[in-house]
Amino acid sequence: RGYTVHYHFIGDRSQEAALAAEIAAADARWPAQAEAQVTFAYSEEAAAQGESVYNQNCFPCHGMQMEGGIGPSFVDSEWIHGGQAADIVRTIREGVLDKGMVAWQGILNPEQINNVASYVIRRHSEATGRPIEEILLPPSDVGAEGAP
């Protein structure tokens, strides 16, 4: 009884205060970095590095050959959430929670998101013949079907 009174009232200590102090100390030691808003940049090097990110995180839902399964296929011409590079990056970052896809921002770093998006774009282009240059166009520059 004396401990409870001292700890919570006289000593002005609580679990919440201890946690807040630990968080403040961690923030001081490792300053929080704002989520980098890396501009998407496609490259063959990024696509090559993105293959391992895909194989570690994406294949359970999208398939080893990107043929789809729980999640949609990336090797056909149908895109549910937009088939332009900006759409693909946005979908990876923000996820599609109502369809069960987590938001990968905060799990994957911006470089990994760039790389896996590049890999998806390259594989989609190889499978469909759609030029990478076309996929890289801003969504506002393409028609409703995803082609200029």
Q: Cα separations (Å) of 35 from 49, 61, 84, 91?
A: 21, 26, 22, 16
Does the predicted model carry a pTM greater than 0.85?
no
**pLDDT: is 144 or 4 the higher one?**
4
Q: CA gyration radius for the chain? A: 22
The mean predicted confidence, pLDDT, of the chain is 85
User: For residue 19, what pLDDT is reported?
Assistant: 74
pLDDT tens readout for residues 99-119: 999 999 989 999 999 999 999
**Amino acid at position 41, single letter:** A
Instruction: Give pLDDT tens digits for 26-79.
Output: 666 655 444 445 578 999 999 999 999 999 999 999 999 999 999 999 999 999
CA distances from 98 to 27, 72, 82, 109, 132 (A): 33, 14, 16, 23, 29
